[in-house]
Structure 1
């Protein structure tokens, strides 16, 4: 809930929806279709799906999504539906203020682990190169989240 003070200062409380498995239906439809059986959680070879009040949620702190589709194959209710030509989700990394490069420390971990080279580094005169995400290349796999030593990367829906 937003307090009066927060409201007057323009700070609005926005409930962040949990990150659902790839190819999940829109949240409301997903919640109606999902029976909370846990099949998708058990099917994920990367172990990034966890149960949250019985529903599957992606936890990128455990690893990245390889888009293998095992979660979709295991879903008997259609809450997860892979449609040809449809993106698995619309997630992009947001690099926060705790990023070591913004503190003058040379760190390129996120760029080194990105499987599609979507994180590049912009040189700074007299400072460390700063990471920048190239949205057109990023798949939203989350591979950059767990390796970040400063825990500065979060994936958000765009």
Structure 2
């Protein structure tokens, strides 16, 4: 059995704590991590203005999108409420985020479930019937706005909002 190449028997390596992965926060539309970090004063006005209640302060007090029952309608009320120059409403699209299937989709396991497809406001989730015997759900990334409507309805939490992959055309 070969030794683990990442293992170090030195005392210093033994006592050093493993580094924590950087938390990827989902920032509101028309913003990004750099804008929020540089200009947000943590006043919470954007969170209070959100009619869907999906904007919440993170552990630093800055706005974070949390899809646990609502979706982003891209109404712009968060941007209107912000007194700072955090939101760039000229950005098109409002954000680059897209929905992506994660492991655990019931449809992939032969259980008919298309709740995400039914709720998608842009009909970006389609069923590919060429995948036998039950079909497979896929996301048309060009149609997906990343609104998050599909996330809270998935019984398996098999969807996530992510930055699209450079080479991905459909998920």
TM-score scaled by length of structure 1 = 0.86
Partner of 1:57 in structure 2? 64
Partner of 2:42 in structure 1? 36
Consecutive unaligned residues of structure 2, counting only runs of 5 or more, are 1-5, 8-19, 165-171
Partner of 1:78 in structure 2? 85
Give 1:62 deviation, angstroms: 2.6
The structure carrying a bigger strand percent of its residues is 1
1:98 aligns with 2:104: yes
Which one of 94, 117, 121 corresponds to residue 88 of structure 1? 94
Give 1:16 deviation, angstroms: 4.4
**2:36/2:62 contact within 8 Å kept:** no
1:129 aligns with 2:142: no
Consecutive unaligned residues of structure 1, counting only runs of 5 or more, are 6-12
Give 1:96 deviation, angstroms: 1.1
Number of equivalent positions: 146
Give 1:125 deviation, angstroms: 2.2
Give 1:48 deviation, angstroms: 0.4
- Structure showing greater radius of gyration is 2
1:10-68 deviation line (CA, Å, top 9, x unaligned): xxx863420011101x3123211000000000000000011102011001123100000
Residues 119, 16 of structure 1: CA spacing in aligned structure 2 closer, same or farther, 3 A cutoff? farther
Which one of 145, 153, 160 corresponds to residue 147 of structure 1? 153
Instruction: Specify the SS of the correspondent of 1:97.
Output: coil
- Alpha-carbon RMSD: 1.7
